Each structure stands twice: as C-alpha cells, then as structure tokens.
Structure 1
Amino acid sequence: MTQTVTQDTRTFSSISHECCTGTFNNIQGSRKPHKCCLCDKSFTTLSSLKRHQAIHTGKKPSTCSICNKKLCRSSYLHIHQRQHMGEKPHKCSVCPNAFTQSSDLRNHEILHTGEILHKCSLCPQAFTRSSHLSDHQRSHTGEKPHKCTLCYKAFSRSSHLRDHERSHTGEKPHKCSLCPKAFTQSSDLHIHQRLHTGEKPHKCALCPKAFNQSSNLRNHQRIHTGEKPHKCSVCLKAFIQSSNLRNHQRIHTGEKPHKCSLCPKAFIQSSNLRNHQRIHTGEKPHRCSVCSKAFNQPSQLRNHQITHAGEKPYKCFVCPEAFIQSSHLRNHQIIHAGKKPHKRMLTFTPQSHLLYG
C-alpha cells in the first residue's frame, strides 16, 4: 500500500514537473507570454496584462479634476493633464518638436531616421506603430470589432466607438478656452480653435485660398477639377458637396426643416432661415462701404453696390433696356409677352410711353 502511494506521488510529481517545465519553456520561448483571454493582445509582464484588462471591464477610477475625463490608469491621467498645462517634456533632439508622451516622441523620431517598421501586406502603406497597422488592415477586411451596446453601430477602432458613445450620453469633454463651445472629439476642438487663431494650414496648390479643415480644401479643389461626385437620383443634377445635394433633394421631397419661431414660414436651408429672421429682428449686418446703407442679406448689398458702379448687368434680349436687378428685368419682360403686369410689379422706364401710348 505504501509502495503504491509512493509511486502515485512520484507520478503526480512527474506530471506536475512536466507541466511546469512546459509552461516555463513557453514563457522562455515567447516574448509576450501573458495573453488576454478577451482579445488577441499579449504582454511581456503579468502586471501589463492586468492593466490592459481594465479596458475590457470599463473601470476608469482616475478622474481629471479639470475636465472630469475618466481614465483607467493613474499614469494615463498624469499624461492627460499635461494637455491642460501645455507641458511637453519629451523633446526631439533633431527638431523643435516636443511631445506629452515618450511613445509619441519615439514614433516621431522615426520620421528623421526614415525607418518604417510595420508594412501592410495588401497595399503600399506603412506605419510606425503596430496598432496603427492593425487598425489599417481592417479597412481591407471590413472588420468592425468595436460594437456600441446602445445601437447597432460598429467601428474598426475603439477610439471611434468612444467618440460615438458620446452621441448617446451627450458628453462633450473637449471645451474651448476662448468661447463656451464644447466638442465630443479633441480633433473637432482643434479645428474649432483655428477660428480663433485664424490658422488655415490647408492651402490650395492652384490658387491662393487656404482652409482650416482638409475637407473644405477637398471640396474647394473640385472647383478647379470640375468634379461633382454627389448626384441626385431624381434629376441627375450633380454637386461638389454632399450638403448641397441634401439641400437640393428637399426641392423634390418638399421638406422644409428649418422653421421660423416667430411666423409660419419654413425653409430648405438654415442660411435662408437666418436671413429671414433678420426681418423680425431688424438686423442689417451687410453695410455698403460707399454710402453706409445697410441690408439684411448679402445679395441685397450686391444689387445696391451696382447702383454706385452704374452697371446694369441684366439686359433684355428683345429691346435695348438693361436693369440693375434680375427681378426688374423679369417684370420688364412681361411687357413683351403681352401680359398685364401686376400693379406692384410694373416698372416704368423712359420708353414706357412708347409701349403704352
């Protein structure tokens, strides 16, 4: 009996030793032996794995005292607070650039060395970070692993999911220090701040125009190329911008979503509503530089400025008459059509007595 127990103990010890040896060999043979059971990530140390798993639990115990942003690690909070203080302790030795995080500095230094570490196997793109390569490869596979728990939307990047979730919560943590505006994304705040600074980094290569957003530059460049990618499915009219197409489609649907709060009028475009509201407020922001006369719409100011220039661009194709405004030309053309003009629309000219006797 004693012999049997001793033999079993030796067998158990042998199996345990083999298991431990196998695990040890696995750790020795792997640079990142600690794998997350919820995603494909692996880590060199157990503590790194534990910190990573906080992402899956959603726990964010560290709160910023300035903007109330919550972070899962105190070290992330420390780095985040540098944005508020403007502190950039990690300085490039080659150029004047400085960074809040050492990892950002390391990635930046690769620009000077020309070293590219992570290449995409499906296209010529290359990246300084493996995580950026992983995000990029999803554009080829169409994979969207980051799903919103409140709606059916899914995203290829976790950062895009976080930004989207704020549309449900209404959270706008990125506040402008110069005006009351706040934004869900830091990139939107960065673009907005250019309105205050006047910075327009996106310059057109074909004309002197510059823009504060790359999307505005792309739309502008279509003026030079003649490209109109946004086509109406009803009348096939095409537009440079998708917003112009949306406004146009309302002509077909009859939709007028921009309603005046002071009268029953409604408009297709928000700009038309703003112009209309000036009738109620009496605001006339568009002032003539020659005579100081003011108007509530820019088109009215342009028509008025023609009177100073003596220009009459709207010419009648039947007779030599010309007019300052297109509406005056339309009223005049009724005379040639043989229709009786509305009293309010009738425009008398020096030649009127010849037509009416």
Structure 2
Amino acid sequence: MLEVLRNLASIGNKWEDKTTEDQIENSGSNLRHEETHTGGQPYECQQCGEASSSLPGVQRHMITHSGEKLYECKQDGRTFISQTSLQKHRITHTGSAHFKCKVCGKDFAYPRLLRIHQKTHTGEKPYECKQCGKAFATSSDLKRHGITHTGEKPYKCQQCGKAFGRSGDLRTHGRTHTGEKPYVCKQCGKAFARSFDLRIHGRTHTGEKPYVCKQCGKAFATSRQLHTHGRIHTGEKPYVCKQCGKAFARSFDLRIHGRTHTGEKPYECKQCGKAFASSSYLQIHGRTHTGEKPYECKQCGKAFASSSHLQIHGRTHTGEKPYECKQCGKAFASSSHLQIHGRTHTRKKPFGCQQCGKTFASSRHLRIHGRMHTGEKPYECEQCGKAFTVAYYLQIHKRTHTGERPYDCKQCGKAFARSGDLHIHERTHSGEKPYVCKQCGKSFATSRQLHKHGRTHTGEKPYECKQCGKAFAMSHQLNRHGRTHTGEKPYKCKQCGKAFTRSPYLHSHEQTHTGEKP
C-alpha cells in the first residue's frame, strides 16, 4: 500500500521538498484547499484512470479493485474500506449520532453528511452537468451521473462479468451471489442487501410519503415512484417493446409484457398449478383460493382482491374516465377497457375459442364464452336459484326481484335495469342505427341485431334442439320450439284462461274478446 501511495504522491507536482511520509500526512488538508481554487483532481487510479482531488480518496478507491477491507467492526466483525464507512456503520449499534437535522430530525454521523442532507430541504443543487444541464446536490452525484453520458463501467463482477459504473454498485451486486443481506428492519425482521432499500421499507411501517406530485397531490415513498407517476400526466412511455411496438411508462412493465411474446410464466400457484408472468399476478390469484379481499371501498363497502381493482371501482363513484379513445372520443375508467374498445375500430379479435373457433376482443369474453361449452354457471341467485355465466348477469337478474331500474331515459322517462338497454333505447329517439350489414346494407341499432341478421346470409343455425335435432338461427326460436316438446303454454288469457305458446298468439286471441280487428 505504501508503494501505491508513493506513486500517487509523485503525480501533480504539488509537493514541497519533504519526505514522502510528510507529503502523505499533509495531503488531506492542503490539496483539498488547493482544489477549491484549481478545480483539479491530481490523483489518478493506475488501474481504471478514475481521478480524485485527495490522496485518501484515491486510496480508498484503489481498495475496491483489490477487495481489501481494512477497517473491522468489533461488535459484529463486518469490515469496511474506510474509517468513514466504519463510523457510519457503528451508529447502527449505538443508535446515536452527533449531528441532527433541525428540519426533519434525521441523525448524521458527520457534519458533511448533514450539509448534503440539508440541500434536500432547500432544494439547492449547485453542481450542474455541462452536457445536459441536469443539476445535483453533491459533486459525487454529478460524477455518478456523468457515467450515463460516457457509458463507462470500469467495475466488473469477477463471478458473472456484469459491469458497473460505481464501485458501490459492484459491491451491492456481489450480494446477489453471496445472498448477504446485512440491513435488517428492527420492526419486522425483514433483511435487505442495501441500506437504501431498508430505509424505503421503513416507510411501510411509518406511512411516510415525502415525495408529493405537484399536479395531483398524490404522495409517494420514493422519488423514483414519483418520477414514474409523473409519466401519467406527461403521457411519456419511454420503454418500447421491440417486437410489437407497445410502449410502457416503467421498465418493469415492459419486462412483464415481454413474457406475452415468449409465453414465459415463471410464477406457479402451488394450489392449482396455474402459472403467471409476474409475482404480483400470482399473489392476487392466490386470493381466489383464500377468499381474501383486503382492499375495501370506503364509500360502499365493496371489497377487492387487488388495489388496482379498488382504484378502478372508485371511478364508478367519482364518474372519472381518464382513458379516452382517440378515434371516437369515448372514455373509460380503465386502460384495459380502452384497449378492448380499441378493437371495435380495428376489428381485431386475438382470443380464439379452441372448441368452435369463435374469436373475441378480450380474454374475459373468451372465458365467459367457454362456459357455453362446459355449461358452467357459477353465479347463482339466492332467491330463485337461477344461475348465470357472468356475475354481471346475476346482478341484473336480481333487479327482477327488487324491481330496481336505475337507468332513466331523459327524453321519455322510461326506466331500465341495465345501462346498455337505456343506451339502445335512446336510439329509438335519435333513429341512430350504427351497425350496417356489409352484404345488403341494412342497418341496425345494436351489434347483436346485426350479428343475428348476418345468419340470414350465412344460413348459420347454431342453436340445436337436443330432442329432435332441429336447428335455429336465434336462441329465442329454440326456446319457443322447445315448448312443442314440453307442451308448455306460458301465455294465458286473463278473461277465459286459454293458454298459448307465444305472446303474439295470445295478443291475437285477446282481440276476439274486445272485438278489435287486427
């Protein structure tokens, strides 16, 4: 080590005629002062070329290449490359620090660290990057940032070859190989590889969220979360999938999305074997087994398995629909609903049924359709026992018992149990028929009517009687036909009691009592 110091002392021509040992002893104070005038960094690492304004600084830096750790903690045996690092570590044992921030009460081992910290309150950032203009609170932060321009990564992991711009990052990375997690939470015992991660984790206990969005007031535990959140306002999505061009606000989301192309699903449920692309999806899925719904709406009490579902639900109360279709202007409460809606413009239906080949715009619609083949109806009415393939259908059905019709037509006052029925009804006033048959030009008020009409051209009859094999184009035609086998006549005349299989037959019969001529 003395040999290294002798070599370093000869660099920069800043020494008087003293012994090398004298020069080393005085270097710390004299050259730090000179650097304030010259801005120079006369000491350079012989291995990677990194420069420092002080001899101790480059001395500590060179140890990162050798892996040597000179300073040992007598309490737990951990070793450090500098006296400063050791003293900072000792605070974790003693719990005492000499320098306290008057603004937030945070403790520091050295006045220099306190001064740097105080800049987080004042907002002072005196160190500016000459290349991009970005400003920083400390010279070391500016220096680290400079690596983003040069791309330089002089610190290489000897185990896996991964390279880093900072020695500290290499040291932290090494723990992924050793499994070392020296930073332990005193409240819950969870351990971390980095002190920064422990500090952030601590906020889950305190609830502290010091980073506030200036646009919407939402608060976050880390500056990184705030920065990512800001992209919701700016619309910035810097992470683009090279395969399909889809863009994301977070690199993590791009990584998860990439698995839709590779088919990779590394997270498997131990109970049912279902696999997922991300650990969070597996965690949410696990609640389908436990029934856990930890996220409750404060307005109506409805509970959800995930926070995102609660957030989307909250918009049913506020009426907020932040996702707008650029083609038609229609707005939605969630990005997934907008994405599905977008397929009505592109006619894209990427989800195909393996049994009948029918395609759908969303995986949910395919899943619901699959129940037509399996006969599964998991949603049962507690009052009458009628079962449904979709929870929404059960919700609508319950209104037949309660008589609830919450959707009123503003023009005629007619009320409906479903918002979709109201929307279709409104077309009777406007005369709008947006669904046009490409073969004959006939137009319809609903896509369902157009779909049924299409069968007059194709001859398709998907509804088959299980008793006689006769097929029909419409489900209600099959239902009506079924009565020829059962003898059921649900439409009864109130005057004479005669019953009929169809309502038009009853209507014609009633005219024989009134004398009305059809």
CA displacement, residues 32-71 of structure 1 (integer Å, 9 cap, x when unaligned) = 697353531143xx77865664565444533263x66554
Question: Which residue of structure 1 aligns with residue 71 of structure 2?
Answer: 35
**SS of the residue aligned with 1:121?**
coil
Asked whether the 8 Å contact 2:153–2:166 carries over to 1, the reply is no
Amino acid at match of 1:41: F
Paired-residue identity, % = 43
Asked whether the 8 Å contact 2:87–2:109 carries over to 1, the reply is no
CA displacement, residues 161-211 of structure 1 (integer Å, 9 cap, x when unaligned) = 222222223333333334443333232222223333333222222334322
Question: Which residue of structure 2 aligns with residue 212 of structure 1?
Answer: 249
Asked whether the 8 Å contact 1:288–1:301 carries over to 2, the reply is no
Is 1:320 the equivalent of 2:473?
yes
> Gaps spanning 5+ residues in structure 2: where?
1-20, 26-55, 61-68, 342-417, 425-431, 436-443, 453-460, 464-471, 492-501, 509-518
Q: 1:117 aligns with which of 144, 151, 154?
A: 154
Instruction: Name the CA distance, whole Å, in 2 between partners of 1:175 and 1:149.
Output: 27
Question: Which residue of structure 1 aligns with residue 392 of structure 2?
Answer: none
Amino acid at match of 1:177: K
Matches within 5 A, 1:1-357: 35-38=71-74, 39-43=78-82, 53-54=90-91, 57-60=94-97, 61-63=99-101, 65=103, 69-83=106-120, 86-110=123-147, 115-259=152-296, 266-269=303-306, 283=319, 308-309=434-435, 310=444, 311-312=447-448, 317-318=462-463, 319-321=472-474
Instruction: Give the 3 Å change call, closer, same or farther, for CA 87–54 of structure 1 in structure 2.
Output: same
Instruction: Name the CA distance, whole Å, in 1 between partners of 2:86 and 2:332.
Output: 66
Question: Which residue of structure 1 aligns with residue 33 of structure 2?
Answer: none
**SS of the residue aligned with 1:123?**
coil
**SS of the residue aligned with 1:219?**
helix
For the pair shown, the structure with the greater C-alpha radius of gyration is 2
**TM-score normalised per structure 2:** 0.47
CA displacement, residues 65-91 of structure 1 (integer Å, 9 cap, x when unaligned) = 3x6655444433433344455543323
CA displacement, residues 99-118 of structure 1 (integer Å, 9 cap, x when unaligned) = 32211233344555565432
Instruction: Give the 3 Å change call, closer, same or farther, for CA 337–226 of structure 1 in structure 2.
Output: farther
Instruction: Name the CA distance, whole Å, in 2 between partners of 1:197 and 1:217.
Output: 18
Asked whether the 8 Å contact 1:138–1:144 carries over to 2, the reply is yes
Amino acid at match of 2:71: K
Question: Which residue of structure 2 aligns with residue 16 of structure 1?
Answer: none
Query: Using CA pairs below 8 Å that are at least 6 residues apart, which structure has the higher relative contact order?
Result: 1
Instruction: Name the CA distance, whole Å, in 1 between partners of 2:329 and 2:151.
Output: 59
Instruction: Name the CA distance, whole Å, in 1 between partners of 2:307 and 2:319.
Output: 17
Alpha-carbon offset, residue 135 of structure 1: 0.8
Alpha-carbon offset, residue 141 of structure 1: 0.7
Alpha-carbon offset, residue 160 of structure 1: 1.4
Instruction: Give the 3 Å change call, closer, same or farther, for CA 90–336 of structure 1 in structure 2.
Output: farther
Instruction: Name the CA distance, whole Å, in 1 between partners of 2:259 and 2:101.
Output: 45
Instruction: Give the 3 Å change call, closer, same or farther, for CA 263–352 of structure 1 in structure 2.
Output: same
Alpha-carbon offset, residue 155 of structure 1: 1.3
**SS of the residue aligned with 2:198?**
helix
CA RMSD, 1 decimal: 5.0
State the aligned residue count.
Answer: 311
Asked whether the 8 Å contact 1:35–1:49 carries over to 2, the reply is yes
**TM-score normalised per structure 1:** 0.64
Alpha-carbon offset, residue 138 of structure 1: 0.7
